[in-house]
Chains A and B, each alone.
Chain A
Amino acid sequence: MYKIVEARNVGLNIKQFVIDAPRIARKQRPGQFLILRLHEKGERIPLTIKSSDPEAGTVTIVVQGVGKTTSLLNCLEAGDSILDIVGPLGRPSEIEKYGTAMILAGSVGTAMALPTSNALKQAGNHVIFIEGARSKEMVVFEDEVRQASSEAYIMTDDGSYGERGLVTKKLNELLAAGRKIDFVLAVGPVPMMRAVAQITAPLAIKTMVSLNSIMVDGTGMCGGCRVLLGGKSKFACVDGPEFDASLVNFEVLMQRNAMYRDKECESLKQFEEHKQEELAQLRAELAAKEKEVARLREELAAGEAHYA
């Protein structure tokens, strides 16, 4: 059981949670993710960690409600608990002094890219951060983006905030203006990451993408998250999640990510029809679990006396 210490809406359908998870907080590095499960019948989903506070023992995640699990999660508030969280998983971002490093992040991807951006800046890079969102309500963490970078641009698809256009438009502009870019990290929807890779590959700019393939355990045990990298199979959970964009087969990634779309849509529809019941049920289950944990703890304490 992992207590939610703080929960707040940070954008349209996007929520930030600070969660009590001391083990993860102690070990988390930029680029790593966690896997959580909300209830006994719930699925395991991977979510990138935005930041952690080892002293307080908390981790921060940002969740966009897109499917059943993320939508249910976004109904939770401070004081609620999450049944299972495991992490930190995956390899941390490789932080080096490249010179000029550019981050391109799509909406909720911004949260994932922030820790890496910070680390790149601290390593002495000039960091250009381009945040993209569909519209103004989905622009998140603007202040933090500015803080974590040396130069920041906000792009919206509809022009309702910042500049109008996709993040790749800004990338092309900067390149056309003769800016020398030594490293690129793209985090966001697959088409966006693919578009970035198509621009930077011919220019031989080292480009990393953070892949969001479907996972179960997150420890290399199932291979469900495998991606084709230069014709070879790699596991996003243990070999990634960041990979060299020039090697990634994005078509296969998109196909594999669509594997359970029918069931996902059906689940989401069911959930939206029974949202309040589902939430009440989840809270009841968590409360029962809380009691069970307390009872076990008591038993353990009684056992501990034996070792005192």
Chain B
Amino acid sequence: MPEKSTLPNSALNILPLKERMKILRRHMPELNPQVRSHNFQEVNQGLEAADALIEATRCLACAKPGCVVDCPVGVKIKEIVALIYAGEYLAAAAKLREDNALPAITGRVCPQENQCEGGCVLGKKGAPVAIGNLERFVADFERTSGKLGLPANAPATGKSVAIVGSGPAGLSAAGDLIQKGHRVRVFEALHELGGVLVYGIPEFRLPKAIVKEEVDNLRRMGVEFETNVVVGKSVTIDELMRNEHYDAVFVATGAGLPVFLGVPGEHFNGVYSANEFLTRVNLMRAYNSAEYDEPVYDCRDKDVIVVGGGNTAMDAVRTSRRLGARTATLVYRRSEAEMPARKEEVKHAREEGIEFRMLTNPIEFLGDEKGWLTGARCVRMELGEPDASGRRRPVEIKGSEYILPASVAIIGVGTTANPLIQSTTPDLATNKRNYIVADEKTMRTSKRGVFAGGDIVTGSATVILAMGAGRKAAASIHEYLTSGQWTVNSEQA
């Protein structure tokens, strides 16, 4: 059935295209930067219905919508926007859920400018439709409406699936598989569910309550969760299959190992990986040190530097600001144009008084005789020829060394694969960088019955890509469980 016929007549935008193009993009209401840089409340407050309507009216309803093409999971954005225009928010949410299991989350953390909004034709001359804000609007409407339409599960198949990791890939796979009638159990190494969504992304960008709601919804659908299980240590993949009789396993453990700079002085007290700093503050709630026991460096009136240019670095530097840092400086070896962080985070960070020190690279950390960090020896960089990533390679400027004083330095230059599962599952093929090798389409690994997806296969990427991988894996696992057929991709042999 063609998609269009499912939309009500009221979803047909009657305003002439020329008029639509005159409407300005609606701004996301935000907390005042002076206030929010001292608390952990969510920065973005969400669109009002009136603004959502205006924003939805701007959509030109292209015959070939670039937004859908550029969405990694092909969310039917055009129809969703039309349904918002018609005021059919719950229908819009249901349509959104067809392709996106965690819309309230992706509406907040997706890098829309490189995806859907990057493909929006309006962006060529002016501002694209605020698709991310609209996504969040319908997802939040659904969440707070109390009318969450949890889909019914198919009759029980008698098959069971173990999912390793409760991040975006694991959660979305769990949702799809339970609907297909399989028994699903998610294993999580930490004590709280959500993976990077709870230990990594701060409260001011993604409130924990939203992640908890998604988890609770899955629980209601019948998904079982077991926390405090480190697969590879507490139990191996083989033991899950042999002793606990899982018919399939989905490995969605993410890329959780921090990368350090490997420069002298990284052991000084005050030098953190972004993972550690954020885990202490987010998962262990160290920002509320009066009530919670887990400590974090007292940043009040201290100088904090954060190394890196991605969203994690941005989260860390904005977190340090909220913990009372006197100066919170982002140090990045390329220029702002090459920064992988979402544009909105960069904007928010600037408003919150984060200092950007671009084309700067720390080459040594300095400390006092008791082992506490006092600063970083930095060198200035310039951009040379493009490197493998297509970005211009940063090159040191000779003789440009200087010392940047700091009590805290947070390294947010990336993460890599955690080897715990690979090293205890001998027949699971990995690549040179120790990521698990999985077929792009089927997510099948070299080991029969074992699938993998998300950052543990691709390396650090985005929530939406991990979620897409989870859904792809779920479809492939379902296919395998129903057909019993396992054909190993020849490339992996």
- Which residues of A does B touch, CB under 8 Å? 23-24, 26-27, 37, 41-44, 68-69, 83-89, 216-224, 226, 228, 233, 238, 249, 251-252, 255-256, 258-260, 263-264, 267, 296, 299-300, 303, 306-307
Contacts and interface: CB of A to CB of B under 8 A. Distances in A.
Contacts of A249: 267
A255 B257 CA distance: 24
B276 A216 contact: yes
A267 B286 CA distance: 13
B187 to A, nearest CB: 10
Nearest to B278: A222
Contact of B191 (A37, A88, A296): A37
B183 A255 contact: no
11 contacts: A27-B234, A41-B293, A86-B191, A87-B233, A219-B418, A219-B420, A221-B199, A224-B272, A226-B267, A306-B153, A306-B156
B235 A27 contact: yes
A84 B294 CA distance: 15
Given A86-B234, A88-B234, A300-B224, A221 B293 contact: no
By Cβ-Cβ distance, the 9 closest A-B pairs, closest first, are A255-B371, A222-B276, A43-B293, A86-B228, A260-B295, A84-B191, A43-B294, A263-B295, A223-B273
Size range of the chain B interface in the assembly: 35 or more
A220 B418 contact: yes
Contacts of A216: 276, 279-280, 284, 294
B285 interface: yes
A193 to B, nearest CB: 18
Contacts of B387: none
Contacts of A26: 235
Nearest to B266: A233
A197 B190 CA distance: 35
B341 interface: no
Given A222-B276, A252-B267, A306-B222, A84 B228 contact: yes
Interface of B: 153, 156, 158, 183, 189-191, 199, 219, 222, 224, 227-230, 233-235, 256-258, 260, 262, 266-267, 269, 272-273, 275-276, 279-280, 284-285, 289, 291-295, 297-298, 370-371, 418-420
Contact of B229 (A44, A86, A220): A86
A223 B156 contact: no
Contacts of B279: 216-217, 221-222
Contacts of A300: 224
A129 to B, nearest CB: 28
Nearest to A302: B222
A221 B233 contact: no
B228 A69 contact: no
Looking at chain A's contact residues, the main secondary structure is mixed
A221 B292 CA distance: 21
A267 B291 CA distance: 10
A262 to B, nearest CB: 8
Given A256-B371, A264-B295, A233 B260 contact: yes
Nearest to A271: B293
Contact of A41 (B269, B292, B419, B420): B292
B260 A41 contact: no
Given A42-B293, A216-B294, A226-B267, A221 B230 contact: no
Contacts of B289: 263
A226 B257 CA distance: 12
A220 B190 CA distance: 12
Contacts of B191: 37, 44, 83-84, 86
Contacts of B273: 222-224
A263 B189 CA distance: 27
Contacts of A41: 285, 291-293
A252 B371 contact: yes
Contacts of B371: 251-252, 255-256, 258
A27 B235 CA distance: 7
Contacts of A255: 269, 370-371
B183 A307 contact: yes
A221 B267 contact: no
